[in-house]
Structure 1
Amino acid sequence: MHSSVFFKLFPPPKFMLMRHSGLHISDHTIRFIEYSGSGRSMRISRFGSLDLPPGTIEGGEARDEKALSAALAEFDKKNDLSYVKVSVPEEKAYLFQIEVPSTDVRTIAQNIEFKLEENVPLTASDAVFYFDLLPLEPGSPIRASVSVVSRAYIEKMMGILRGCGMSPVAFEVLPKAVARSVIHPHSTITTMIVYIMKKKTGIYIVMGNVVGFSSTIPYGTDTPPVDGADTASMISKEIGRVRAFWASHAPSSSEVKEVILVGAKASEYREPIRDPFASEGVSVSVGDVWSNAFDINKYIPPIAQADSLDYVVAAGLAMDA
C-alpha cells in the first residue's frame, strides 16, 4: 500500500504529529495560516500571503516552475515555514463515489484500488487516494467518496516545496479543506459550498462533512459579462443546474437546502445569488471561516472579516483532520 494512503487510513500516533501551517497555492496567490491551541480555542499565531507573477500557475498547473520555486523560496524566507499541509487544486484531482462492501478500512482500500481504473484515467500505481464514508442512508448500501490525485503531481510538488526549504506533511484536495473550514464538524445536512475566485468558481456538495460532488466553472470576480450576464448571474444559474442534477441523482434526504458562499467578494455576491432561490426555501449565506477554530465573540482575529474569505482554504488546511 502506498505510504501516502497508509497515513491517511492509519494516522500516526499523536506524538508523531507536528504543528503545521496550512499552505494554499492558488493560480494567483500563496497564502498560509498557522494556529496555536486546539479545538474551538485556537488562535491565529501566523499568517501571510504573496501574489504570484501572472502566468505562473494556470488552471492548477505550474506553467513556470522556476517562477513558482522563486516565489515559494521568497515566501518561506519571509515566514520561516517548516511543516506544511498543502492544497491540491480541484483541476488536479478526481472525485467519485463507489459502493463498498464493509466499513473495514483495509477492505475498502483494496476495493478502491481494484476499481480505480474504472473511475479515473490513472492506474493504482500512478495514483494516490483517500476516501471518506458517506452518511449511511437507511436501507442503502455503504458508499465512499474517493479523491484521487496523480502520483506524478504530488511528487513534483514535493520536490518544489522541499527545494524551497519546506516539509510537506500532507496534501489535501481543495474542496475538503474548504468544507473543514466552514461546515460544522457534526453537521447532518447536505450543503452546497460556492467558492468564488478570480477567474473560476468551485461548487461543492457536502453531505454531513463529506464532499460528495465538485465542479469548477470558468466564471469569477474578474470575468467580464457574457451575453449581458454578470458573474453573480452566471454563478446563480450554475447553482440551479447543479441542484437539479443532484436532486435527480441523490437520495431525497440529501436535498440541498443551504448554500454557503466563500472566497473573493462572497459578501457582495450574496444578495444577487440568493434572490432566485428565495421562493424555494434555500438559504444563501456567507461562510464563517473561523467557525470551527474559535468563537469570534471571545477572540478577535488579526485578519479582517472580508479578507478571511480568501483564507478559507489555508484555514481548513491548518486545522487537524
Structure 2
Amino acid sequence: MSVLTTLGNFLPPPLYMRMLSAGVDISDTSLKYIQFQPDHYKGLQLNVNCWGDIDIPVGVLERGLVHDVKKLSEAIREMRERTGIEMVRVSLPEERAYLFETEIKRDTPDKEIRGLLEFRLEENVPLSPRDAIFDYVLSEDAQNVDVLRAMVTVYARETVMQYYEACIAAGVNPLSFEVEAQAIARATIPRGDIRTHMIVDFGKTRTGVGIVHAGSLMYTSTVDIGGQELSAALVRQLGEKTETEFTTIKNTEGLVRGVEDTRVYDALLPTLSAIVDELRTRADYWDIRSSQYEERKIESIILCGGSVNLRGLPEYITEMLGVPAKRSNVWQNAFNTRTVVPEIGRRYSYGYATAIGLALASFM
C-alpha cells in the first residue's frame, strides 16, 4: 500500500503517472534504484533501463529515521545526475509503519471510507489523525458478505515528509511512498497469487518480515539481526578478514557442516537460530490472529535481501519452521528469465527486490 493518494495534493497531475519512474529503495546504509521501460515488441515484458546503488554515510538514517535530510538528498541527487531520473517511487521503512485491519459495512459510500478509517486511527495506532498519513486496501471478507476488510497502513506525517523533502531538494518528484514489504511482494509473488506468504528480507543490518495475503501486506515487523552479525560471528571464530572474504565464506560454506572443519557452521548457527526463533514467534502470532481464516495459513516463505545468499539458508529455514522456503525470483513480474538474461546477476539481484517492486508499480 502506498501513501500516494494522501500525498496527491503535493504532486503533479496524472500525466506524470504515464512517464517512466524509478524504484528507489532507501536503507540506513545505501540507496538502490532501478528503472524499467516497456518492450513494445514483447507485450507486457519490460527492459531494465538503468540501475545502481549509492552508499549513504553512517548516521544519515537510523532504523529508517532520517537524521540528516540534506545528506539523504545528496544521495538522491547523485542518482539523478547519474541517470537523469526525475520520477521516483520510494520505499518507507518497515520500522516506522503501523498496520491494522478493520471491517467496514459493504454499503459504505466510497467518499466516506477515508473519514471512517481516520476516526479509527487513534484506536489502533499511537498517532493522532493530524499527525498521520495513511492509505488502505479493501478486500472481501470470506466469512461475511455484508462487510469488507480494510487493511490500513499508517506513518507519522513527519516521517513521510522527511523523505518527501529529500526528494524535492534533490530535484526528483516522488510519485508514491510504500512499505518495503509491499514492494517486495509485487516483485516476488506471481501475479494473481492469492495465497499467504511470509516475506523475509535478510539485509545487512536487520531482517524485515512481512506477511502477504492475496497480494496485500497484512503484517510487518523487523528483527534487529542481519548479515553483519554473521560476519561478526565469523570474526570471533576465524579472525579478521575482509568483508569480501567473509561473504565468500558465507556463500560457499554457510550452513553446510564440513567433515573435518566445522568452524564456519559452528560460528553461524547461533545467529541463524536466533533469527529463525524470531520468525517462528511472528508466524505463531499470525496463526493465532488469523485462526478463523483457514485461507490465511502461511504456505511459503520467500527469501530476499543482500544477505540471503548464505549457503543452506532455505533448507535450514524449511526444516526448522516446517514451511517451504526459497530464494525469490525478483524478475518474474518484469520479464521471462528463460529468454532474457538480466543485467544484474542472480546473487546480487536479491538485494534489489524492494527497488524492483517499487519500479513495477508503474506497470502493474
The two structures share one fold, judged by TM-score above 0.5: yes
C-alpha distance in 1, partners of 2:298/2:110? 29
Which residue does the alignment assign to 1:52?
56
Q: Give the alignment partner of residue 101 of structure 1, picking from 80, 98, 105.
A: 105
Determine helix, strand or coil for the equivalent of 1:47: strand
Deviating more after overlay: 209-218 vs 107-116? 107-116
SS of corresponding position for 2:6: helix
Q: Indicate the larger mover: 169-178 or 71-80.
A: 71-80
Contact 1:98 1:143 in 2 (8 A): yes
Change (3 A) 1:63 1:230: farther
Q: 2:282 aligns with which of 209, 234, 242?
A: 242
Q: Is the 8 A contact 1:101 1:108 kept in 2?
A: no
Opposite residue 217 of structure 2, the aligned amino acid is V
**Would you say the 8 A contact 1:233–1:272 is kept in 2?**
no
1: CA distance between counterparts of 2:191 and 2:205? 30
Distance 1:135 1:202, change over 3 A: farther
AA aligned to 2:134 is F
Q: Distance in 1 between matches of 2:201 and 2:72?
A: 23
Q: Which residue of 1 aligns with 2:26?
A: 25
Alpha-carbon spacing, 1:72–1:3, altered in 2? closer, same or farther (3 Å): closer
User: In the TM superposition, what whole-angstrom CA distance separates every residue of 1:8-57 from its partner, at most 9, and x where no partner exists?
Assistant: 9xxx7678532111111111111111001177401111111111112221
Q: For 2:80, give the aligned amino acid.
A: D
Alignment of 1:197-216 (within 5 A): 197-216=203-222
Residues 1:135 and 1:232: Cα distance change in structure 2 (over 3 Å): farther
- 1:260 corresponds, among 302, 305, 309, to 302
Partner Cα distance (2:318, 2:192) in 1: 25
Bigger shift: residues 63-72 or 193-202: 63-72
Q: Hey, what's the Cα distance between the residues in 1 that align with 2:307 and 2:140?
A: 32
Amino acid corresponding to residue 162 of structure 2 in structure 1: K
Is the Cα–Cα contact under 8 Å of residues 204 and 307 in structure 2 kept in the other structure? no
Deviates more, 1:208-217 or 1:108-117: 108-117
Which residue of 290, 298, 301 maps to 2:342?
301
Q: Rate the CA distance shift 1:169–1:133 in 2: closer, same or farther, 3 A.
A: same
Q: 1:166 to 1:16 in 2, by over 3 A?
A: closer
Name the Cα RMSD after superposition.
Answer: 2.6
Determine the structure 2 residue equivalent to 1:169: 175
Give the CA deviation at 1:65: 3.0
| Aligned partner (choices 131, 134, 138) of residue 136 of structure 2 | 131
Match of 2:118 among 110, 113, 116: 113
| 1:313 counterpart residue number | 354
SS in 2 for 1:260: strand
Cα offset, 1:259, TM superposition: 0.6
Gaps of 5+ in 2: 234-266
| Residue 77 to residue 6, structure 1, CA distance change in 2 (3 Å) | closer
Deviations 1:96-148 (A, max 9, x none): 11111227533321211111111112222322211112453133742111111
Task: State yes or no: 1:195 paired with 2:201.
Answer: yes
Q: Is the 8 A contact 2:4 2:176 kept in 1?
A: no
Percent of aligned positions with the same letter in both sequences?
A: 31
Cα distance, 1:242 vs. partner?
Answer: 1.5
Seen in structure 2, the aligned counterparts of structure 1 residues 231 and 79 have a Cα distance that, compared at 3 Å, is farther
| Equivalent position to 2:272, from 228, 232, 247 | 232
Which consecutive residues of structure 1, in runs of 5 or more, have no partner in the other structure? none
Aligned partners of 2:226 and 2:307 also within 8 Å: no
C-alpha displacement of 1:7: 4.9
Per-residue deviation at 1:84? Answer: 0.5
What does residue 288 of structure 1 align with? 329
Instruction: Go from structure 1 to structure 2 and tell me whether the alpha carbon gap of 1:5 and 1:28 turns closer, same or farther (over 3 Å shift).
Output: same
SS at match of 1:222: helix
In our comparison, the structure showing a higher alpha carbon Rg is: 2
Match of 1:273 in 2: 317
**Contact 1:76 1:166 survives alignment (8 Å):** yes
Deviation at 1:80, TM superposition (A): 1.9
State the match for 2:72 in structure 1. Answer: 68
3-state SS of paired residue (1:302): coil
CA contact (8 A) 1:205 1:211 kept: yes
Between 1:107-116 and 1:18-27, the stretch displaced more is 107-116
- Supply the distance in 2 between the matched residues of 1:104 and 1:216 (Cα, whole angstroms): 36
- Taking a change above 3 Å as real, the CA distance of residues 105 and 177 of structure 1, as seen in their structure-2 partners, is farther
Give the counterpart letter for 1:301 in structure 2.
P
Kept after mapping to 1: 8 A contact 2:90/2:174: yes
Query: Contact conserved, 1:232 with 1:273, CA < 8 A, in 2?
Result: no
Deviation at 1:241, TM superposition (A): 1.4
TM-score, reference length from structure 1: 0.90
Say which of 87, 99, 111 aligns to 2:91: 87
